[in-house]
Amino acid sequence: MKTIGKLKVATCQFAVGHSITRNGRRICELLRKAGKAGADIVHFPECALSGYIGTDFPSFDGYDWELLKEESLKIMALAGKLRLWVVLGSTHRLTPDRDVRGQTEPNKPATRMAGKPHNSLYLISPAGKIVDRYDKRFCTRQDLCRLTPGDHFVFFTINGVKCSLLICFDLRFPELYRELYKQGVNCVFQSFYNARQNEPSVHTHIMRQTMQCHAATNYFWVSMSNSSGYYSPYSSCFIQPDGVIVKQLKQNKAGVMVNTVDLNKKFYDPMVGFRELAISGKLTNGPKIIRDPRSRNTTSL
């Protein structure tokens, strides 16, 4: 029996690579482990199935899209068999880059199609069906040479817990998280691919810390899944609404952990009663006008 307000989240990591078949096999292994651990939803890294363009392979020239589809269908079938929700990182092919005319409006001027794929998270239901897809909204400068940014949020509710999806570089834009807060989101699933690096980097010191800040300033639960391909500057973790990391996986090692979102638990939140003021544009919780001249005079003691 499912408990309203509780959601068991399996956060997974493994060494994502160029082989779609190998990635698919590892994903299925972790799905089975998550199912045995009683998870409701299983969360994978960015581009977990497809591999990451520019890191795992140089370009999409000759990319085996049919194999990607076959492996995706296997994962969907297993999700249905295990009755699991799945957040699957992959790449979504778009229409080849060319000028096309609207089929229903042949006289309409040619429209340029996007061509470059999306970096995506597929939301797969316990029925084994894709019910939605989130496309990375903010791509890095390198990404923009190879990928098309997305233009929409994804929202879904499981056991009374409202969830949303984001990907890696999105974390640099706090406006996204404020919008999720305004939409009543309780839990954010954010997938990353910060791996295959030669040495420690700024990512070690900023990525999880930034997510902790987003969690605390917006009172979210966060599942943060990263690839563990060597060298990965940080491991996957699960964050509660006060910004505290509840649990983390071992760095550079495949694994799965199950944590529970519990909306009945209360955490330290000093912004209660003030957060909405800031969101509305009132950037102080004091009076509208301070009439004391000693307050207005800012150049004397």
* Residue 253 located in a structural domain: yes
Q: What is the largest CA-CA distance in the chain?
A: 74
Cα 270 from Cα 282, distance rounded (Å): 17
Cα 12 from Cα 147, distance rounded (Å): 25
* Residue 178 located in a structural domain: yes
* Residue 103 located in a structural domain: no
Cα 49 from Cα 23, distance rounded (Å): 5
Is the N-terminal amide bond of 231 cis, ω within 30° of 0? Answer: yes
* Residue 290 located in a structural domain: no
Among residues 32, 24, 27, 26, the alpha carbon closest in space to that of 70 is found at 24
Domain with residue 134: its CATH number is 3.60.110.10
pLDDT attached to residue 100 = 45
Hey, how many other C-beta atoms are within 10 angstroms of the C-beta on 100?
Answer: 11
Encoding tokens for residue 299? 């150049």
Encoding tokens for residue 237? 């973790």
pLDDT attached to residue 200 = 84
Give the pLDDT of the chain (301 residues) as one tens digit per residue: 678 999 999 999 999 999 999 999 999 999 999 999 999 999 999 999 999 999 999 999 999 999 999 999 999 999 999 999 999 999 999 997 654 444 445 555 545 546 899 999 999 999 999 999 999 999 999 999 999 999 999 999 999 999 999 999 999 999 999 999 999 999 999 999 999 998 888 999 999 999 999 999 999 999 999 999 999 999 999 999 999 999 999 999 999 999 999 999 999 999 999 999 999 999 999 998 999 999 999 999 9
pLDDT attached to residue 1 = 67
Task: Identify the bridge partners of residue 53 per DSSP, sorted by sequence position.
Answer: 57
172: helix, strand or coil: helix
* Residue 15 located in a structural domain: yes
* Residue 91 located in a structural domain: yes
Query: 161-167 and 255-262: which strand pairing?
Result: unpaired
- What residue has token string 């929409």? 152
pLDDT attached to residue 288 = 87
- What residue has token string 């249905």? 80
- What residue has token string 């009663």? 273
Domains held by the chain: number? 1
Q: What is the 3-state secondary structure (H, E, C) of 195-262?
A: CCCCCCCHHHHHHHHHHHHHHHHHCCEEEEEECCCCCCCCCCEEECCCCCEEEECCCCCCEEEEEEEE
The answer to whether 185 and 7 have CB atoms below 8 angstroms apart is no
pLDDT attached to residue 8 = 98
Cα 168 from Cα 124, distance rounded (Å): 20
* Residue 283 located in a structural domain: no
Q: Which domain, by its residues, includes 123?
A: 6-97+114-266
Q: By CB neighbour count within 10 A (0-12 exposed, 13-18 middle, 19+ buried), where does 198 fall? A: exposed
* Residue 287 located in a structural domain: no
Query: 237-239 and 221-226: which strand pairing?
Result: antiparallel
Encoding tokens for residue 91? 């790449």
